[in-house]
Amino acid sequence: MRYTLPEEFHVFGFSSDLLAWYDSQKRDLPWRINRDPYRVWVSEIMLQQTRVETVKPYYLNFMEKFPTVQALAEAPEDEVLKAWEGLGYYSRVRNLQTAAREVQANYGGIVPDTPEEIRTLKGVGPYTAGAILSIAYEKPEPAVDGNVMRVFSRLLYLTDDIAKPATRIKIEHLVRQVIPEGRAGDFNQALMELGAMVCTPRSPQCLTCPVFDYCIARREGVQEELPNKGKAKPPRPVYLQVALIVRDGAVLINKRPEQGLLAGMWEFPMVETEVDREAAKKDLLTQQMQERFGVEVEVREMQGEVQHTFSHLQWNMQVWLCDWIEGEELPPTARFAAVEELDAYTFPVAHHKIKAMLHG
């Protein structure tokens, strides 16, 4: 289906004014020092669902450790996960490394420059592909993220639900018609910058907007009512009992399965419980530690509670200090690690909060 811009929309004036603003106001960000496609790629993966200020130090550290496609492709996964630790959404970096290996094997370490090839890479969807192709290679490809959907919803007074894939496709068609020749990368970054700095989700700064005159929603006074976004399902609550099993200055940790949520990361042993099983928590922990890890423990006092929310789950964790009584034959995924050496292991954010309790 072909979507067209409104007749009164002045494409040249819009892109010219937006780029003039971007040239004078753009932020100094570490991934903008050059247009190396690998650097662009890493930054775009890191910036998914993560704030710019949070990403900056991670990006600099990651690029120092893995400066090229080859370096990332050949790195041990544990080192890559450790460099990503704290950013969350760990499937992003696993997919990134898998894709780097594909690029190394199939393209000689050079990130492909066509939509057909780049979209075959693991974890590279339409947005990431558009960002790399436009920023690194100046291909006139749209890069439509949440910022861009918000800007165009207001700019053209689009009431379509931006949570629906069809709306993203529509906006991609519209953006493609506005991309100026020779400055695709700057234009896409300017749109993202506008959404991040001016056309914000709440209280957009219309009076300082460089494309104020082109915005139909502003003209109609409905800019704060857009974009239209369907409500997502609330995360499902999960109730977990966590065991801090201490033996001679070491604590029991376990590596999660290689597939699924937080795959391959380390954690303190956890047991899922029903919300109404208050009286049985200690007994259940004792039983599960024996069955799963072959260790006999005495569950003592509760150390605290931790809550962590994923996009689809909310972990409600009660943390129990446990004394090791006996049991030496641990499964291959488990080990006792000295408390002072825990920083060498990659833990999810929720378990970092638990780790802090050991020093409390």
- Are 240 and 217 contained in the same domain? no
In a domain, 272, yes or no: yes
Domain containing 24 — which CATH number? Answer: 1.10.340.30
pLDDT score of 275? 58
For residue range 126-166, what is the model confidence (pLDDT) as tens digits? 999 999 999 999 999 999 999 999 999 999 999 999 999 99
In a domain, 327, yes or no: yes
In a domain, 2, yes or no: no
Q: What are phi and psi of 217, to 5 degrees?
A: -65, -40
Mean pLDDT of 204-209: 96
The interaxial angle of helices 91-107 and 77-84, nearest 10 deg, is 130
The pTM score is: 0.86
pLDDT over threshold 90, residue 232? no
d(CA 271, CA 35): 47
Number of independent structural domains in the chain: 2
For residue range 235-263, what is the model confidence (pLDDT) as tens digits? 999 999 999 999 999 999 999 998 888 98
Residue 176 — very low, low, confident or very high, per pLDDT cuts 50/70/90? very high
For residue range 13-60, what is the model confidence (pLDDT) as tens digits? 999 999 999 999 999 999 999 999 999 999 999 999 899 999 999 999
In a domain, 285, yes or no: yes
- Are 184 and 81 contained in the same domain? yes
pLDDT score of 253? 97
- Are 154 and 256 contained in the same domain? no
Catalytic one among 44, 85, 141, 172?
44
- Are 144 and 285 contained in the same domain? no
Q: Which of 225, 255, 290 is the last residue of a domain?
A: 225
In a domain, 50, yes or no: yes
Q: Please give the residue range of the domain that contains residue 201.
A: 7-225
Mean pLDDT of 294-305: 93
3-state secondary structure of 248: coil
Q: Which of 225, 251, 268 is the last residue of a domain?
A: 225
pLDDT over threshold 80, residue 279? no
pLDDT over threshold 60, residue 276? no
- Are 241 and 212 contained in the same domain? no
In the DSSP assignment, the letter for residue 235 is: P
pLDDT score of 9? 87
Torsion sign, CA atoms 170, 172, 175, 181: negative
pLDDT score of 277? 59
pLDDT score of 327? 87
3-state secondary structure of 309: strand
Which residues, including other chains, have CB under 8 Å from residue 191's CB and lie 6 or more apart? 18, 143, 147, 148, 151, 175
- Are 264 and 243 contained in the same domain? yes
3-state secondary structure of 343: helix
Average predicted confidence (pLDDT) for the chain: 94
Residue 274 — very low, low, confident or very high, per pLDDT cuts 50/70/90? confident
Q: What's the chain's length in residues?
A: 360
Q: Which of 201, 225, 249 is the last residue of a domain?
A: 225
- Are 241 and 221 contained in the same domain? no
To the query of whether residue 141 is one of the catalytic residues in this protein, the response is no
3-state secondary structure of 228: strand
pLDDT score of 167? 96
In a domain, 230, yes or no: no
Lowest mean pLDDT among 105-109, 158-162, 281-285: 281-285
HSE-CB of 248 using CA atoms within 13 angstroms: 4
